[in-house]
Chain A
Amino acid sequence: NAGVMQNPRHLVRRRGQEARLRCSPMKGHSHVYWYRQLPEEGLKFMVYLQKENIIDESGMPKERFSAEFPKEGPSILRIQQVVRGDSAAYFCASSLGRGQGRYEQYFGPGTRLTVT
């Protein structure tokens, strides 16, 4: 029973490049959440998606960041023109849904992005 999968686990990008982070939710889960963890900080919510829909992007930076969760395939968090301040661990979580017994979020192993 595979858990939440993320790849790559480590990603190094130079300033100005694009970073693409992928997240495959747990089997049967159709709700995906992205969080960012800066060094020595807690996780910060970025975006919540269901298949083909962005439900809540209140934590996403206004520029350079985008997320999608297509009908087929993994969810993608895209960061364009990366800057050093984007260096962080990015975690994906998934859940069955929102209601009772469905809301618990399970976290993936994370992608550690380093911008040089």
Chain B
Amino acid sequence: ELKVEQNPLFLSMQEGKNYTIYCNYSTTSDRLYWYRQDPGKSLESLFVLLSNGAVKQEGRLMASLDTKARLSTLHITAAVHDLSATYFCAAQGGGADGLTFGKGTHLIIQP
């Protein structure tokens, strides 16, 4: 059974700082996703990572995938308040079409 763990679950940081969210998954995964969710809203797709060593960047966010370590990271560079949200990673694999989500990282960025 595929399991996904994220850490930290809560993160409070100051604007301008860098930080990394970690996502571990338990078995072979075909794809790794990162989503953003604002309170009371739906999920916004940020990145889809397919292969070992994949790195994608959009603005201040960069995601990477290490399939050997079964680890993905979401790195935030020079955080700004607008990035405050809950970030989820999700893995898809093991023959299942449904996504397996982590519990999410609740990120608060303070001025």
Contact = CB atoms under 8 A, between A and B. Distances in A.
Contact of B42 (A33, A42, A104, A109): A109
Contacts of A31: 97
Contacts of B98: 33, 35, 45-46, 48, 56, 58-59
A98 B41 contact: no
A3 to B, nearest CB: 9
Interface residues of B, number: 21
Contacts, number: 56
A41 B42 CA distance: 14
A42 B31 CA distance: 18
B74 interface: no
Interface of B: 4, 31, 35, 40-43, 45, 48, 88, 90, 92, 96-104
A55 B101 CA distance: 20
Contacts of A33: 97-99
Given A44-B101, A104-B45, 7 more contacts: A31-B97, A40-B103, A43-B99, A98-B97, A103-B31, A107-B42, A112-B40
A105 B43 CA distance: 10
B32 to A, nearest CB: 12
A108 interface: yes
A101 to B, nearest CB: 11
